[in-house]
């Protein structure tokens, strides 16, 4: 089955953010596929390259990036939610006259239309956090 995961939970703040990652991994280890992981609300912090958890804690950003490069995952961050919360690509940062971009490699900024499209084409849509 084709799944879309919608993540509202902020990393290292809401368990939902970590559960989404484990769920994604479980899907990829089974016969299921992931159409898209859509980060919305506070979940957009999951795409911040500046996340720096202590070494003895799980590194959600690094794990998402590993999963992304191993499976060519579509990790989409809602651009409107991200701008409010300060997750910007370099080009967005320069367009908005902010000092720096911080969007992590492996993540893409896109509009809410990507959520609507994912809902239309996925067999299952599962929400984490919020």
Partner 1 sequence: MPQSKSILALCRHAPYGNALAREGLEAVLACAAMDQIPEVLFINDGVFQLLEQNPEAIGEKNLRRNLQALPMFGVETLHICKKSLEDRGLTPDQITVAGAELKFLDNPGAFIANFDQVLSF
Catalytic residues: 78
What DSSP designation does 13 have? T
Site string for partner 1, 100-119 (x = CB under 8 A): -----------xxx-xxx-x
Out of 1, 26, 50, 80, the only residue in the binding site for partner 1 (CB under 8 A) is: 80
SS3 category, 15:
helix
The DSSP-derived string for 63-120 is HHHHHHHHHT--EEEEHHHHHHHT---HHHHHHTT-S---BPTTEEEE-THHHHHHHH
Tokens representing residue 5 in the block = 């995961």
Asked if 6 touches partner 1 (CB under 8 A), the answer is yes
Asked if 61 touches partner 1 (CB under 8 A), the answer is no
Q: How many CB atoms lie within 10 A of CB 72?
A: 9
CB of 54 vs partner 1, minimal distance in Å: 28
Asked if 40 touches partner 1 (CB under 8 A), the answer is yes
Binding site for partner 1 (CB under 8 A): 6, 8, 40-42, 80-81, 84, 111-113, 115-117, 119-122, 125, 127, 130
């Amino acid at each position: 089955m084709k799944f879309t995961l919608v993540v509202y939970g902020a990393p290292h703040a809401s368990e939902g953010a970590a559960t989404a990652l484990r769920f994604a991994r479980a899907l990829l280890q089974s016969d299921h596929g992931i159409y898209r992981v859509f980060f919305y609300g506070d979940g957009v912090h999951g795409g911040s390259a500046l996340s720096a958890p202590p070494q003895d804690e799980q590194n959600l950003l690094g794990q998402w990036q590993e999963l992304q490069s191993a499976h060519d995952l579509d990790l989409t961050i809602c651009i409107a939610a991200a701008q409010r919360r300060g997750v910007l690509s370099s080009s967005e940062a320069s367009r908005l006259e902010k000092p720096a971009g911080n969007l992590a490699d492996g993540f893409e900024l896109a509009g809410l239309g990507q959520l609507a499209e994912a809902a239309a084409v996925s067999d299952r849509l599962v929400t984490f956090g919020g």
